[in-house]
């Protein structure tokens, strides 16, 4: 698919930080994260936390940051119910894995379970491209992210090149979707990935102690990422 020219968002990307509990949510919020994302790092790339934990997290933050929660990688038959249950926590956005070949009707039903709040997560290993985006918009999704499925040392930039990422985020803007890039990112990746004009850059392991996504979130690392993003120049809109 050839993506038509589209002016970039003039603002730098915002920072998404994945957290595993209320304490980490507070730490991320206090350090300046724009979006606090509930996720269980012990359960893979898109491990869902219990609904009760997400509800407590949302209540504790009380609107001080935008929130999202991973609904996991549900089977097709459970996708709508799983999304609906997570949406009922009051979280701002629900994220769900979108595997290749998902039927449009199933996608639309999942989007209807969290109206205006569902974010599709596409895995870099599946080589998602801009051609996937129109169907997501047509189904009523709010946005799309690319992440890595395997947390095996390979990073987003090892799997997809710059033109591929730029085309994806541009297609999201054309179709009115939020966009995000994630996948074992480090603070040193921010400047390079910001050139692709995503709405969000997503972090977990790169902001944890010793760079281990299963260890505690480091508030100082979150603050460093915030400072790095805030220091980026505004992009020029056409």
- C-alpha angle 20/203/188, rounded to 5°? 145
Q: Contact at 8 Å (CB) between 30 and 60?
A: no
Q: Which helix (H) or strand (E) holds 181?
A: strand 178-182
In angstroms, the CA 70 to CA 128 distance is 19
Question: Which of 33, 121, 108 lies closest to 69 in space, CA to CA?
Answer: 121
* Other beta carbons less than 10 A from residue 195's beta carbon: 13
In angstroms, the CA 66 to CA 71 distance is 17
Question: Is 151 designated active site?
Answer: no
Q: By three-state DSSP, how is residue 44 classified?
A: coil
Catalytic residue among 27, 39, 196, 213: 39
Pairing relationship of beta strands 93-97 and 143-147 according to DSSP bridges: unpaired
Question: Is 39 designated active site?
Answer: yes
Catalytic residue among 55, 95, 132, 173: 95
- Positions marked catalytic: 39, 95
């Amino acid at each position: 698919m050839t993506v038509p020219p589209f002016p970039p968002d003039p603002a730098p990307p915002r920072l998404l930080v994945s957290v595993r509990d209320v304490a980490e949510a507070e730490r991320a919020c206090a350090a300046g994260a724009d979006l606090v994302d509930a996720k269980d790092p012990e359960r893979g790339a898109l491990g869902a936390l219990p609904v009760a934990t997400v509800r407590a997290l949302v209540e504790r933050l009380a609107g001080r940051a935008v929130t999202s929660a991973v609904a996991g990688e549900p089977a097709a038959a459970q996708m709508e119910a799983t999304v609906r249950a997570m949406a009922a926590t009051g979280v701002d956005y629900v994220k769900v894995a979108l595997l290749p070949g998902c039927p449009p009707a199933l996608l639309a039903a999942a989007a209807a379970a969290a109206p205006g709040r569902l974010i599709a997560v596409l895995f870099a290993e599946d080589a998602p491209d801009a051609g996937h985006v129109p169907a997501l918009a047509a189904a009523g999704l709010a946005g799309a992210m690319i992440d890595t499925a395997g947390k095996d040392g390979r990073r987003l930039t090892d799997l997809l090149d710059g033109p591929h990422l730029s085309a994806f985020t541009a297609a999201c803007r054309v179709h009115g979707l939020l966009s995000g890039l994630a996948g074992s990112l480090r603070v040193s990746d921010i400047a390079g990935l910001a050139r692709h004009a995503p709405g969000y850059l997503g972090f977990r392991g790169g902001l944890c102690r010793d760079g281990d996504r299963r260890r505690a979130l480091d508030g100082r690392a979150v603050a460093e990422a915030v400072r790095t993003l805030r220091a980026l120049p505004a992009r020029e809109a056409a």
